[in-house]
Structure 1
């Protein structure tokens, strides 16, 4: 099914083959195979079923993203890949626990204030999503009922915490995590070639059992592995304070000097904190956030009444020439083009 010139989506559902339900979760992953590719980051984030999250671009240039979403045996499997660095924040489905496996990561990503790379298994036990991903990034995410997973984990590895609580980031033995990542790559590639075949219940059972076994093996191998450490608590706190301050005043023009005065910190300390956690300067980070805000507002606006200049001013952009250049570099089109694409017929120019 063609969605637009930049987007394609394929969906298969197997209504006659209902999956088992696990525990008391409020989410039921009815069987589904879906794939979508797009240049629009919002289309990708909105396509993920049951997740309440938002993507923000952090890097200029043409964005290309791909999403595979597979529901089998009552679990959700996602493969997300994109060309540009981005920030993903929000919540995973209620009543679930989710695991992230890097399939490709260049450099260092950040998951909930932990630096992470190919060596790490990401854990989301409490729904909070906060991921800063690098460019040319690819990840697989397994989401399953939390109660059922904890029961299986305690049976498989009773020496782990009896509560079933896991750290936010795990560092399994490399051979166990590599085996899980390799299987997931083959699984997603196979489903892409044979989506109809996944409707067979015995085949679903084999895939789910294999993936669970590899995941539990990787988790069990962390018992004698070094525990990853989060970033400096002082830098985490400073970055959070800066975000809260800027987000509370989106219309205010922003300079590094005024931000540091408000935070009572030095420019050097603030820059190092943002470089450590986001791998970018605070001014580049907040400019990207504000550009994303303008972009979403333009897409939702009525071009018959909205003006680009008014929306830009709401997000603290005072110089329209510089704003237009930065916007086009980020989104590969002018602000007026975005407004025209909102589905209506006219637009007021700056």
Structure 2
């Protein structure tokens, strides 16, 4: 059982912020107390929102996204985040070579975590200064949905009420203590069994991700990975599907399309050539690239460049 923790009482109301996003590149920069890099995995125009309540030692955030993403996330050093995935989702934790499936997970600061969520997602996150947490809450664990969901739903309600004028007088001042009370009860429950994935598949998927960073774009194919890693195509495809829920062929294409999007959106019109950028990322047929790009992002490559 987690020991009681008492936070300094907030003297003022929290800082409330809310933003809407039409690009995953903008949203990846906006999550408080996280460093992130996103890649879009499913087709369609991106829409997302982030709303946060910042109390200093405790920050509550709700992040919503309408597309499937590959999310590389690192909680800031000195902070611990408790994430509630209010829906279906999978997280592959590179720091432990484990694949976690559940609705609440503890993410220590200073480590990279990768999550894959298919379709729309709704995250509720409590980011807490590490020095106010008990040691036994820093081990990292995943909690069963029936245990975690009520706490995540309660935090989501707090976030949505804040700033609406409907919050009770003085309630927001109590929120940091209330959050710690709920989390101390939550982490008194045993960790969920059966959420960790087959270690062999998790380790193979990590090798796939490492190879994606090492190989040139023209070799980022299933056959190229098979040669580089010395594994069969079937094993590679099986590991990717099991860990992420995405077909390996689709994941590789989506990664390259997202990387092209990142280059185009951050460039000056006169400094980047769309065709050359596509070639640099392994797309050798410009017509098929243009069709795939527009299907993925809901706009033409030239539209992104002019944005």
Alpha-carbon distance in 2 for matches of 1:184, 1:169: 18
Alignment match, 1:53: 36
How far off its partner does 1:20 sit? 5.1
Q: How does 1:11-26 map onto structure 2 within 5 Å?
A: none
Residue 264 of structure 1 deviates from its aligned partner by 1.5
Partner residue, 1:184 = 155
Which segments of 5 or more consecutive residues in structure 1 lack a partner in the other structure?
A: 1-18, 23-29, 152-160, 342-350
Contact preservation (8 Å) 2:219, 2:225:
no
Q: 2:143 aligns with which of 166, 170, 177?
A: 170
Number of the residue aligned with 1:70: 53
Deviations 1:152-197 (A, max 9, x none): xxxxxxxxx4xx432342337x2x42331231122122115239x6
1:250–1:290: 8 Å Cα contact kept in structure 2? no
- Mapped to 2, the partners of 1:273 and 1:91 lie a distance apart of 23
Confirm whether residue 125 of structure 1 aligns to residue 114 of structure 2.
no
Which runs of 5 or more structure 2 residues have no equivalent in the other structure? 1-6
Q: Is the 2:69–2:117 contact (alpha carbons within 8 Å) kept by the matching residues of 1? A: yes
Which structure ranks higher in relative contact order (CA pairs < 8 Å, sequence separation ≥ 6)? 2
Q: Provide the secondary structure at the position in 2 that maps to 1:46.
A: coil
User: What's the TM-score, normalizing by structure 1?
Assistant: 0.77
Which residue is equivalent to 2:91? 110
Pick from 119, 135, 141: which aligns with 1:135? 119
Q: Does 1:242 align with 2:208?
A: yes
Aligned-pair CA distance for 1:138: 0.5
| 1:122-167 deviations in Å (ceiling 9; x for gaps) | 111233232212312111000111121116xxxxxxxxx4xx4323
Q: 2:3: which partner in 1? A: none
Structure 2 CA distance, aligned partners of 1:94 and 1:66?
24
Structure 1: distance between partners of 2:269 and 2:228: 37
1:249-300 Cα offsets, whole Å, 9 max, x none, are 2332443223212221112111110000111111211111111110010011
SS at match of 1:98: strand
Give the direction of change, closer, same or farther, for the CA distance of 1:165–1:210 in structure 2 (3 Å limit): closer
* Alpha-carbon offset, residue 87 of structure 1: 1.5
Task: Identify which of 75, 78, 96 aligns with 1:95.
Answer: 78
Residue 238 of structure 2 is matched in structure 1 by: 272
Structure 2 SS opposite 1:247: helix
In angstroms, what is the RMSD of aligned CA positions?
Answer: 2.5
Does the 8 Å contact 2:76/2:109 carry over to 1?
no
Q: Does 1:208 align with 2:176?
A: yes
| Alpha-carbon distance in structure 2 between the residues aligned to 1:204 and 1:315 | 48
Q: TM-score, normalised by structure 2?
A: 0.87
Note if contact 2:100-2:142 (Cα within 8 Å) is conserved in structure 1.
no
CA drift at 1:74: 2.5
For residue 250 of structure 2, the aligned residue among 270, 284, 303 is 284
Please give the alpha-carbon distance, in whole angstroms, between the structure 1 residues aligned to 2:218 and 2:127. Answer: 40
Q: Residues 44 and 65 of structure 1 are in contact (CA less than 8 Å); yes or no, is this contact kept in structure 2? A: yes
Q: Is residue 68 of structure 2 the alignment partner of residue 85 of structure 1?
A: yes
Identify if the C-alpha distance between structure 1 residues 61 and 251 changes in structure 2 by more than 3 Å, giving closer, same or farther.
same
Q: 1:49 to 1:125 in 2, by over 3 A?
A: closer
**Aligned-partner SS, 1:252:** helix
CA gap 1:179/1:257 in 2 versus in 1, 3 angstroms: closer
Question: Residues 250, 192 of structure 1: CA spacing in aligned structure 2 closer, same or farther, 3 A cutoff?
Answer: farther
Runs (4+) of structure 1 exceeding 4 A deviation are 19-22
